[in-house]
Amino acid sequence: MCPVCGLPKELCVCQEIAREQQRISVYSIKRRFGKVVTIVEGVDEKQLDLKDLTKRLKSKLACGGTAKGGRIELQGYHKARIKEALVEIGFSPEMIDVK
């Protein structure tokens, strides 16, 4: 059951609404030893299942990644594809800020 609306998970649209309203930013950084990671920031963990979102992004982008401290860290450079992947999951294109 959903803790927000009290409906069974299959009827609940809270996650969908939360996704549409979520303003997120994406950027890539170079880590030590030249490793590039793509960071997704701004996801509200209280409203959205960050672990589930990470899992979906990893499978869509075919990469490794972790969720920690409200951020998703994906291995590799995904700025070209990540917006499309986020929109497919249900985020609004105008709310995604790719830096």
Q: Give the interface with Zn ion as residue ranges (CB under 5 A).
A: 2, 4-5, 12, 14
Please report how close the Cβ of residue 21 comes to Zn ion at its closest, in angstroms: 14
12 versus 63: smaller Cβ distance to Zn ion:
12
Please report how close the Cβ of residue 38 comes to Zn ion at its closest, in angstroms: 29
Please report how close the Cβ of residue 44 comes to Zn ion at its closest, in angstroms: 14
Q: Encoding tokens for residue 13?
A: 């649209």
As a whole number of angstroms, the distance between CA 31 and CA 29 comes to 6
List the beta strands (DSSP E) in 15-86.
24-30, 36-41, 65-68, 71-75
